[in-house]
Structure 1
Amino acid sequence: MASWNSFPLEITYQTLGWLAFVSWSISFYPQVILNFRRKSVVGLSLDFLLLNLTKHSSYLIYNTVLYFSPAAQQQYFEKYGHEQMIPVAANDVAFSIHAVVLTAITLFQVFIYERGTQTISKISIGIVSVVWLFAAVCVFVALPSHSWLWLISIFNHLAVSFIQVSMTVIKYIPQAVMNFMRKSTEGFSIGNILLDFTGGVANYGQMATQSIDQSMLFIPSSIII
């Protein structure tokens, strides 16, 4: 496994990584707190929550497998070279676990607080069903050849990802449509968006820093916002 060539860049990488982790992690709390204070989730799109849970679950699978699996890491080195570094840091794993837990808590609030006439649309249920059916098919395709790197790349890698990219593109659409129809953002925490953006900038800075140190082309391997 490759090591850092520059100590200052390594420190910068770690700092940006944990800044992204803190920003993204905190971003979940304003909505949870707002729901708790209002004892209501009216104004928060349930479709957004379902799509967001799917997105972060796929990111969790990618991070944990690539960070902890020697087999997946070996396949990564064989594909990209042993001089390269694994593109998953401890803060990535910590964030993805935290994201799934907090999104699940927010979904739990849907069942215990007032939600008015809001329901999860059949379109979102259909999208999520297709996503996980696709993932299941990929598991069976990867099993015979033990293509673990290819399999987890389906969950997150920009070049081939179906799940991560598609969820990132569409997850905010239901919330934006709801805000437009209601002519109001009441019930939806804007703090989530601001912290999301901050974390995204820090994450891309982190990947750029690693690319500069390793003298390789900067191709983002994840989209997390």
Structure 2
Amino acid sequence: MFYLSQLEPVLQSYHSEVTNNKALDIISNIIGWAYIFCWSFSFYGQLYENFKVKHVQGIAFEFLGLNLSGYLFLSAYTSAGYFKGGENGWPFSGNITLQDLIFAFHSVGITIITIIQIAYYYKKGDNPGVSLWCIILLIFLWSQTIIYIILTWIFGWQVIFQNEKLNVLYWMGYEKLFVTLIKNVPQVYLNYQRKSTEGWSILNILLAFIGGILSFLQMLIDQLNGKSANLVEMNIVKFILSCIVLVFDLIFIFQHYVIYNPKRNKSKTIQDEYHYMKQ
């Protein structure tokens, strides 16, 4: 955060001189589609991995359950910001782009396809299933979201945010951040427990990592181009989401290439497991 505080005065000064430069708009748009490509296609690595090994021992089911809920929340948040935010009516904070919207809806669809694929390949004993703590957490997240909708949209209560129309939508954005913060923990632990990352797609992680860097770059260019006057007015959900994604991607990369490198650290247990599955 120290670096952000150092950067903000520079951006504010630049913002007063540069507004809506066409060249920066084009660059931001290209980078936006590039990060959407990386983040979106990162999902397909796991689909291919599941197809290749024909089982689901390498993926944590908690990850998928939390992932689907998180992207449903993100879809509601980005839809409100894109269709109703700013000049369209609601005082929605943050610059929501078309790329953000497409990514959110694509993520919901591809996560559902992955869940269907895993249901097809699942064999008894492959995976312990969704943990009780994850089920309780999902019930809690959806229950308080429904309560929020009742309080804000039906009764008009200003529970946290001042604008009742945005109350639950902002909250869904923050719920997505919370889900992203915890959804990768079961996968990190499963890799540690199995002492292997086989069955978990590293392509997924590498593309997500590149996408996170490009997402940061687009937000910086948009600020330099006068899209917002300070760091607070940027799409804060997208900003924090990128930070969380990068941290966990680095952990997965370290697990795959250093601790559990499949070329030099494949345990006999994993070898036997894969030999059995291929028979």
Structure 1: distance between partners of 2:99 and 2:47: 22
1:108-127 matched pairs, under 5 angstroms: 108-115=116-123, 116-127=126-137
The Cα shift of 1:203 comes to 1.1
Aligned counterpart in structure 1 of residue 152 of structure 2, from 142, 158, 162 = 142
CA shift digits 1:83-121 (9 cap, x unpaired): xxx611111111111111111111112211034143111
Query: Does the CA contact (< 8 Å) of 1:72 and 1:148 recur in 2?
Result: no
- Please name the residue that 2:172 is paired with: 155
Separation (CA, whole Å) in 1 of partners of 2:89 and 2:137: 33
Aligned residue in 2 for 1:168: 180
The Cα shift of 1:75 comes to 2.3
Question: Is the CA contact 2:63–2:184 (under 8 Å) kept in the aligned structure 1?
Answer: yes
Amino acid in the other structure paired with 1:94: I
Q: Deviations over 1:50-85 (max 9, x none)?
A: 1111111111111122212379942226xx6xxxxx
- Separation in 1, partners of 2:223, 2:150: 33
Match in the other structure for 1:102: 110
Per the alignment, residue 83 of structure 1 pairs with none
Identity %: 30
Contact 1:66 1:72 in 2 (8 A): no
On the 8 A contact 1:42/1:118 being kept in 2, the answer is no
User: How far apart are the structure 1 equivalents of 2:237 and 2:64?
Assistant: 24
Conserved? CA contact 1:52–1:171, under 8 Å: yes
Please give the per-residue CA displacement for 1:160-191, whole angstroms capped at 9, x wherever unaligned: x2x12211111110000000011011110011
1:41 to 22, 44, 56: 56
Structure 2 SS opposite 1:188: coil
Paired position in structure 2 for 1:92: 100
Larger displacement relative to structure 2 (143-152 or 102-111): 143-152
Over the aligned positions, Cα root-mean-square deviation in angstroms equals 2.0
Aligned to 2:248: none
* Cα separation, partners in 2 of 1:204 and 1:148, compared to 1, 3 Å: farther
The alpha-carbon distance between structure 1 residues 196 and 129, as it changes in their structure 2 partners (threshold 3 A), is same
Partner of 1:221: 237
| d(CA) in 2 for partners of 1:72, 1:175 | 41
Q: Which residue of 2 aligns with 1:19?
A: 34
Equivalent pairs counted in the alignment come to: 210
- 5+ residue gaps, structure 1, are 81-85
- TM-score, normalization by structure 1: 0.86
Paired position in structure 2 for 1:29: 44
1:63 counterpart SS class: helix
Asked if structure 1 preserves the Cα contact closer than 8 Å seen for 2:84 and 2:90, the reply is no
- The structure whose residues are more often helix, as a share, is 2
The higher radius of gyration belongs to 2
Q: How much has 1:202 moved relative to structure 2?
A: 1.1
Counterpart of 1:110, as a letter, is I
Deviates more, 1:203-212 or 1:92-101: 203-212
2:217 to 186, 205, 217: 205
Unaligned runs of 5+ in 2: 1-18, 157-162, 246-279
